[in-house]
Amino acid sequence: MAEISLVEAINQALAYELAHDNTVVVFGEDVGPNGGVFRATVGLQQRFGKDRVLDTPLAENMLAGMAVGMAAQGLKPVVEIQFLGFIYSAMDQIINHASRLRNRTQGRLTCPMVIRAPFGAGIHAPEHHSESTETLFAHIPGLRVVIPSSPARAYGLLLASIRDPDPVIFLEPTRMYRLLKQNVPDSGEALPLDVCFVLREGQDVTLVSWGAMIHETLKAAEMLKQQNIHAEVIDVATIKPLDMETILHSVEKTGRCVIVHEAVKTGGMGAEIAAQLAEQGLTSLLAPVQRVTAFDTIVPLARLENYYFPSVERIVSSVQKVMEFA
**Least distance in angstroms from the C-beta of 291 to another protein:** 20
CB of 208: closest distance to another protein in angstroms?
Answer: 15
For the bound state, the minimum distance from the C-beta of residue 270 to another protein, rounded and expressed in Å, comes to 17
* Residues paired with 171 in a beta bridge: 117
Contact 61, 96 (CB under 8 A): no
CB 143 within 8 A of CB 99: yes
- Name the minimum Å distance from CB 203 to another protein: 25
Kindly report whether the peptide bond that precedes residue 241 is cis, defined as omega within 30 degrees of 0: yes
Identity of the amino acid at 121: A
Cα–Cα separations (whole angstroms), residue 94 to 108, 136, 142 = 18, 11, 10
Which residue in the list 129, 139, 215, 230 is annotated as catalytic? 129
230 classed as catalytic: no
Report the residue number, 76 or 215, with the smaller CB distance to another protein.
76
Pick 123 or 242: Cβ nearer another protein: 242
Judge contact between 170 and 10, C-beta under 8 A: no
Structural contact between residues 10 and 154, judged by C-beta atoms closer than 8 angstroms: yes
Residues of the shown chain interacting with another protein in the complex, contacts defined by CB under 8 A: 25, 51, 56-57, 59, 61-62, 64-75, 77, 89, 92-93, 96-97, 102-110, 141-142, 144, 165-166, 194, 241-245
- In sequence order, the β-bridge partners of residue 76 are 24
Measured from the CB atom, is 77 or 211 closer to another protein? 77
Active site (catalytic) residues? 129
